Amino acid sequence: MERKIEDNEFEDQDFDHRRDYRTVIKEKFYIIWDKSSLLGEPATLNHVITEKDQKLLDHIFEVDIETYKIPHTVILQGAAGIGKTTLLRKAMLEWANGNLYQQFTYAFYLSGREISQVKEKSFAQLISKNWPRSEGPIERILSKPSNLLFIIDSFDELDFSFEEPEFALCNDWTQKQPVSFLISSLLRKVMLPESFLLVTARPTAWKRLKPLLHKPHCVKLPGLSKNARMDYIHHLLKDKTWAMDGICSIRKNERLFNMCHVSHVCKVICTCLKEQVKNGGNIAVICQTTTALFTCYICSLFSQIDWGVTTLPNETLVRSLCQAAAEGIWTMNHILYKKNLRKHELTRDDISVFLHVKVLQKDTEYGNCFAFTHLHIQEFFAALFYFLRENPEEKDYPIKRFENLHLLLESNCFHDPHLEQMKCFLFGLLNKERVRQLEETFKFTISMDVKGELLMCLEALEKGDSYLSQLRFMDLLHCLYETQDKEFITQALSYFPKIVVKVDEEAQLHIYSFCLKHCYSLQAIKPTAMAELKTMLDLKPIAKTCFDDAIAGIIHCWKDLFSVLHKNESLKEMDLYESRLNKSLMNILSEELSHPRCKLQKLLFGSVCFLNNCQDFSFLTTCHTLTHLDLKNVDLEDNGLESLCQNLISQRCKLRVLRLESCDLNVYRCLKLAEALKSNKSLVFLNLSTNNLSNDGVKSLCQTLENPNCHLERLSLASCGITKAVCEALSLAITKSKRLTHLRLADNILEDEGIGLLSDALRYPQCTLQSLVLRCCCVTSVGSKFLSDALLNNRSLIHLDLGSNKLQDSGIKLLCHILQQPTCTIQELELMGCILTSDSCLDLAPVIVNNPNLWSLDLGNNNLEDAGLHILCEALKDPSCHIQRLGLENCGLTPVCCQDLLSLFSDNQSLIQMNLMKNALNYDTIKNLCTVLRSPTCKIKFLALDNKEILGEKIKKFVYDVRTNNPQLVIKPHYYNTESECWWKYF
Q: Are 784 and 754 in contact (CB under 8 A)?
A: no
The whole-angstrom separation of Cα 531 and Cα 529 is 6
Average pLDDT, the chain: 89
Percent of the chain whose predicted confidence (pLDDT) is above 90: 59
Q: What is the mean predicted confidence (pLDDT) over 973-977?
A: 79
Mean pLDDT for 528-549 is 60
Kindly indicate the confidence band of residue 1, based on its pLDDT and cuts at 50, 70 and 90: very low
Single-letter amino acid, residue 917:
M
**What integer pLDDT is reported at residue 38 of this predicted model?**
40
Q: How far is CA 885 from CA 480, 827, 860, 881, 943, in A?
A: 46, 11, 12, 11, 10
Q: Which segments of 578-629 does DSSP mark as H helices, in order?
A: 583-593
* pLDDT tens string 619-650: 999 999 999 999 999 999 999 999 999 999 99
| pLDDT given for residue 874 in this prediction | 95
Whole-number Cα distances in Å, 177 to 124, 182, 413: 11, 7, 37
Give the helix/strand (H/E) hosting 925: helix 923-933
The residue-averaged pLDDT of 111-139 equals 80
Rounded distance, CA 336 to CA 716, Å? 67
pLDDT of residue 839 exceeding 80, the answer is yes
Which is nearest to 657 in space by CA: 630, 634, 691, 618? 630
Q: What angle do CA 90, 96, 98 make, to 5 degrees?
A: 105
Average of per-residue pLDDT across 821-848: 95
Side-chain-side CA neighbours of 853 within 13 Å: the count stands at: 17
What's CA 740's distance to the chain center, in Å? 42
- Give the mean model confidence (pLDDT) for residues 227-255: 85
SS3 letters across 521-546: CCCEEEEEEECCCCCHHHCCCCCHHH
Q: How confident is the model at residue 453 (pLDDT cuts 50, 70, 90)?
A: very high
Q: Stretch 14-25: mean pLDDT, rounded?
A: 81
| Predicted local confidence at residue 700, as pLDDT | 95
pLDDT of residue 4: 45
Average pLDDT over residues 886-903: 96
Q: What is the pTM of this model?
A: 0.84
Give the pLDDT confidence of 899-957 residue by residue, as tens digits: 999 999 998 889 999 999 999 999 899 999 999 999 888 899 999 999 888 877 788 88
Q: Lowest mean pLDDT: which of 190-199, 220-229, 613-622, 972-981?
A: 972-981
Q: How many CA atoms lie within 13 A of 680 on its CB side?
A: 30
Distance of CA 253 to the CA centre of its chain: 23
Q: Determine contact, residues 688/659, Cβ cutoff 8 Å.
A: no
Is 29 a residue whose pLDDT tops 50?
Answer: yes
Q: Place 165 in a pLDDT band, splitting at 50, 70 and 90.
A: confident
Q: Which one of 11-15, 295-299, 474-478, 550-554 scores highest in mean pLDDT?
A: 295-299
Q: Looking at residues 591-602, what average pLDDT do you find?
A: 97
pLDDT at 126 over 70: yes
In this prediction, residue 974 carries a pLDDT of 83
In this prediction, residue 311 carries a pLDDT of 79
| pLDDT tens by residue, 309-319 | 667 889 999 99
What average pLDDT does the segment 279-304 reach?
92
Q: Each residue of 355-379: pLDDT tens digit?
A: 999 999 988 777 778 999 999 999 9
By the 8 A CB rule, do 737 and 770 touch?
A: no
Residues 6+ apart with CB under 8 A from 798: 770, 771, 825, 826, 827, 828, 853, 980
Residue 292 has pLDDT above 90, yes or no: yes
Q: What 8-state DSSP symbol labels residue 806?
A: B
| 51 in Cβ contact with 177 (< 8 Å) | no
pLDDT grade for 469, boundaries at 50, 70 and 90: low
Question: What confidence category does residue 33 fall into, taking pLDDT thresholds of 50, 70 and 90?
Answer: low
Integer Cα distance of 582 and 584 in angstroms: 6
| The pLDDT value given to residue 709 | 86
pLDDT at 60 exceeding the cut of 70 = yes
By mean pLDDT, which of 535-549, 668-682, 737-751, 886-900 is the weakest?
Answer: 535-549
- Among residues 118, 192, 183, which one has the least CA distance to residue 149? 192
Residue-level pLDDT at 8: 57
State the pLDDT at residue 49.
45
Bridge-based pairing of strands 602-604 and 628-630 is: parallel
Q: How far apart are CA 637 and CA 664, in angstroms?
A: 9
- Say yes or no to pLDDT of 45 above 50: no
Nearest C-alpha neighbor of 774 from the set 807, 747, 756, 752:
747
